[in-house]
Amino acid sequence: MTISKNQHSAEGVPEYRSGKASRRFLRNLVWVLVIGGLFLGGQGVRYCLHYAQLERIREETDKLYRSVLGPDIGGSPFGRLQFEHGKLLASRRIGLDPLSVLASLSQPASEGVRVDAVDLTGARGRVRGFYSGDEAGFMQYVEKLSDDDRYLFSVYKIVELGGGVSFSLSVESK
């Protein structure tokens, strides 16, 4: 009794076809490569778009730094901005600088102005003194003080005395 090939496969032992398995493997490999290629292409496009956006952000940030710090922004512009901000906060905490207030008082002053007391508390202060001259001359002096860039001076109290004017001025930052 001879068993043919068809009978052998009919008995339950599968027949292996290498050509069919190879084609299936190659088809699956092509699909995996196509899907992987599409995924990598999408990631490449996404990377390029994000990189272009990052470059625009860097350019705008650089423009902003240059508008605040000038043309030479240095190696660490953010650190420099923090330093400048700290200086501004310190001047606000300290309040008015007595020397710069006195300098502002003395610029338009003639020899007839004498400052007796300067009381600066925080962002406001009071200056008391004596002006040797008439009240009209003192008011001209106060008008010249209004041209100051840093401080705002206003008359708090004027008392005319025989030889001049005793005054009290309020001062605050502009």
Residue range 103-150, pLDDT digits in tens: 888 888 777 888 888 888 877 899 999 998 888 888 888 898 888 888
Please list the residues that pair with 170 across neighbouring strands: 126, 154
Residues composing the chain: 174
Q: Note whether 134 and 77 are same-domain residues.
A: no
CATH of the domain at 122: 3.30.1360.100
Q: Note whether 34 and 85 are same-domain residues.
A: yes
User: Using CA atoms, how far apart are residues 151 and 105, in angstroms rounded to an integer?
Assistant: 10
Number of domains composing the chain: 2
User: Using CA atoms, how far apart are residues 172 and 120, in angstroms rounded to an integer?
Assistant: 9
Q: Which of 49, 66, 94 is the last residue of a domain?
A: 94
User: Using CA atoms, how far apart are residues 148 and 107, in angstroms rounded to an integer?
Assistant: 9
Q: Which of 120, 107, 160 is nearest to 138 (CA)?
A: 160
In the structure, what pLDDT confidence band is assigned to residue 1 with cuts at 50, 70 and 90?
very low
Q: Is residue 8 part of a domain?
A: no
Q: Is residue 107 part of a domain?
A: yes
Range of the domain at 101: 95-173
Q: Is residue 9 part of a domain?
A: no
Q: Work out the mean pLDDT of the chain and round it to a whole number.
A: 85
Residue range 76-110, pLDDT digits in tens: 888 888 887 787 777 666 677 788 888 888 888 77
Please list the residues that pair with 9 across neighbouring strands: none
Q: Note whether 99 and 163 are same-domain residues.
A: yes
In the structure, what pLDDT confidence band is assigned to residue 23 with cuts at 50, 70 and 90?
very high
Q: Is residue 159 part of a domain?
A: yes
Q: Note whether 159 and 114 are same-domain residues.
A: yes
Q: Is residue 43 part of a domain?
A: yes
